Amino acid sequence: MKEITREWENAIKEKNCEKLLEIIEDYLDTIEDEEQLKRELERAGQVAIDCENFELIHEIAHTYEHLGETEKGIELYKSVVEKRRDRDKEEYAEALYYLADAYEHFGMPEEALKTYEKLLRVEEELGNEKEKALTLANIAIVKDELEETEEAIRIMEKARDIFAKLNDEKNYLISLIDLAHFHYELGNYEKAMELIQEVLRNPIDEEIEVHSRLVESEIYAGRGENKKAALSLRKALQRAESDEDLYGIAFESVIEFIEGLFNESNYQALKDVAPVFAELFEDDTRQFFQAIEKLAEWRLGNEEAKKEFEELYGKIENEDLKAMLDEWKRPKLSLGLSL
């Protein structure tokens, strides 16, 4: 503990943001007193502003969020924006981007939108078409988050057209995926599927293909074609195997899909789709999906399946998987309304 404290003090004194970033998590974990923690965050925050180090600011802002003081983290981004306001416009634009992204990340979409719109005006002055398109795409995503989905489509189409003109294939395909998701949200399943199929004809890399499959699964589920939705998710999992983060996103989407079917009490669909996922695994995740199938059969009236469910449940060691099954096996409560 003495050693890390010494390193911290030296880094603060020398304004060594790289060193602070390296040790901040370990050092802050040693502090038990909340007031002392706030003092150290304030010291580190001032150094981060001096360095204009957005990675360090991000770490500090996350700690402020845990303390219920998110705005203090946002103020660090704002300070760098102010420092750069009358400097090089590209540096100013970069600071505006990080501020907008922080607003979005910390759940302030209205403020994110205002900042992205300010950034767009700067990008237009700079004449950087790619950055302008990327900012338009971010604006569209925030508009969708604010439930202005038709406007989001209009803006994303502008971004798409710029990416096409620039022959920026990856960002062009990402814009199509986003457009497909927006159309799905509006119930325009045919248009959404048309866009996704265009992407899947040439997905160029695993990230593009995985995200395309996830939206494809949404569309199928929206149509009530749950088996096809499950097969799209299965393809996403298989394609994401070599990328841990991407695999985590795909697996989370599978869980959300399964949970949605439980919430709808669609036990027949659960019985049909669970084996699609079970056969992908060798560890206790296989038993998890097999248990889902048996739980669905039990809910459909097969009392024999209850015993099979309990046997499979007993083989699962992963506590998170067991907790999900615990939640799903609880009887649903319904409220009766007297009018």
pLDDT at 338 over 80: no
Average pLDDT score over residue span 105-111: 98
Residues 235-246 pLDDT 10s: 999 999 999 999
Indicate the pLDDT class of residue 2, thresholds 50, 70 and 90: confident
pLDDT at 333 over 70: no
Residues near 11 by Cβ (< 8 Å), separated by ≥ 6? 17, 19, 20, 23, 47
Structure tokens at 219: 């569309």
Residues 8-36 pLDDT 10s: 999 999 999 999 999 999 999 999 999 99
pLDDT at 206 over 90: yes
Using CA atoms, how far residue 40 sits from 34, 36, 60, 221, in Å, is 10, 6, 10, 49
pLDDT value for 331: 76
Structure tokens at 127: 């004449």
Using CA atoms, how far residue 277 sits from 188, 217, 230, in Å, is 28, 14, 8
Nearest-angstrom CA–CA distance, 17 and 271: 53
The alpha-carbon radius of gyration of the chain (Å, integer) is 24
pLDDT value for 293: 98
Length of the chain: 339
pLDDT value for 330: 87
Assign 3-class secondary structure to 118-150: HHHHHHHHHCCHHHHHHHHHHHHHHHHHCCCHH
Residues 100 and 119 sit within 8 Å (Cβ to Cβ): yes
